[in-house]
Amino acid sequence: MAGSMSLADLRADLQASLHDAAAVFADPEDFDRLLAAAGEDMGGSASESGSATLTLADTLDLVAGQSEYTAPADFQRFKMALWGTASVAKPWDSNYPGRLPDVFHCGESLVLSPAPTAQQIAILGSEYRYFYFASYVTTGPVDVTEIPPANRSLLLLRAQAEACREMALRNMAKPVTMRDGMPSARIRMTKLDAMCSQKPSLRSNQNSSAVCWP
């Protein structure tokens, strides 16, 4: 599929790729939901799978003693920090910043542990520059996704998998009626039972008609 990365083209190609199964998703927004789930999955698992990822940069304004900061809206996973990495100071130097904080993602916040100290901010600055893995989201009025065009087929494949998952879960609690699909086999079994029930009578008839010759 050689369409563009617009949401309209992605929706049309996804619907075409599902063939008859596309009729299950009557609402056009269903395809948008499938694509959104696929994009979120690509952004969330890219760092583990090793596939192409969307990496963005952001900056935190550090405050001494403060450990919690607001995470970007499209934040998925922390990648690496640039703050303090250029320092070559040794533990015995007066400008040694000490242990740098680790970053944890908690809900909508980034938690730096331990919290940056006033000494670290004085040495390294208050701008905490870092990279993170971002989820793929639609941006701008033209509905163009931020997924690289080279990953377009992968996006559609994951959307197809999401569609299959939803179809597999449809009507799971709905009662169904099982029907016998082998009527001919049932007829053959009935005839076989009748033949078996007649065998004793056939033997008795044969014995009663036997003639003993002197």
Do 32 and 71 sit in the same domain of this protein? no
Domain C-terminal end among 80, 115, 134: 134
Residue with more model confidence, 173 or 63: 63
Do 27 and 129 sit in the same domain of this protein? no
Q: Tell me whether residue 157 is in a domain.
A: yes
pTM of the predicted protein model: 0.49
What DSSP assignment string belongs to 16-71?
HHTGGGGGG--SHHHHHHHHHHHHHHHHHHHHHH-----EEEEEEE--TT--EEEP
Q: Tell me whether residue 182 is in a domain.
A: no
Q: Which of 190, 209, 189 is nearest to 201 (CA)?
A: 209
Do 100 and 163 sit in the same domain of this protein? no
Q: Tell me whether residue 42 is in a domain.
A: yes
What pLDDT is stored for residue 5 in this prediction? 78
Do 62 and 119 sit in the same domain of this protein? yes
Do 5 and 100 sit in the same domain of this protein? no
What tens digit of pLDDT does each residue of 4-38 get? 777 888 888 998 999 988 888 878 788 888 888 88
Q: Tell me whether residue 183 is in a domain.
A: no
Q: Tell me whether residue 128 is in a domain.
A: yes
Could you tell me the CA-to-CA distances from 90 to 19, 44, 164 in Å, in that order? 64, 37, 56
Q: Which of 113, 86, 110 is nearest to 97 (CA)?
A: 86
Do 144 and 164 sit in the same domain of this protein? yes
Do 126 and 144 sit in the same domain of this protein? no
Alpha-carbon span 58 to 70, nearest angstrom: 11
Please count the structural domains in the chain. 2
Q: Domain limits at 28?
A: 1-53+138-173
Do 98 and 151 sit in the same domain of this protein? no
What pLDDT is stored for residue 50 in this prediction? 44
Do 76 and 128 sit in the same domain of this protein? yes
Q: Tell me whether residue 36 is in a domain.
A: yes
Q: Which range among 47-61, 72-86, 163-177 has the greatest average pLDDT?
A: 72-86
Do 84 and 122 sit in the same domain of this protein? yes
Q: Tell me whether residue 203 is in a domain.
A: no
Do 40 and 16 sit in the same domain of this protein? yes
What pLDDT is stored for residue 82 in this prediction? 92
What tens digit of pLDDT does each residue of 163-213 get? 999 888 887 777 766 666 555 556 666 666 666 666 555 455 555 554 445
HSE (side-chain half, CA atoms, 13 Å) at 65: 0
Do 21 and 72 sit in the same domain of this protein? no
Q: First CA to last CA across the chain, in angstroms?
A: 96
What DSSP assignment string belongs to 62-118?
--TT--EEEPPTTEEEEEEE-TTTT----TTSTT---SPPEEEEETTEEEEESPPPH
Q: Tell me whether residue 186 is in a domain.
A: no
Yes or no: say if 123 and 64 are a contact pair by the CB < 8 Å rule.
no
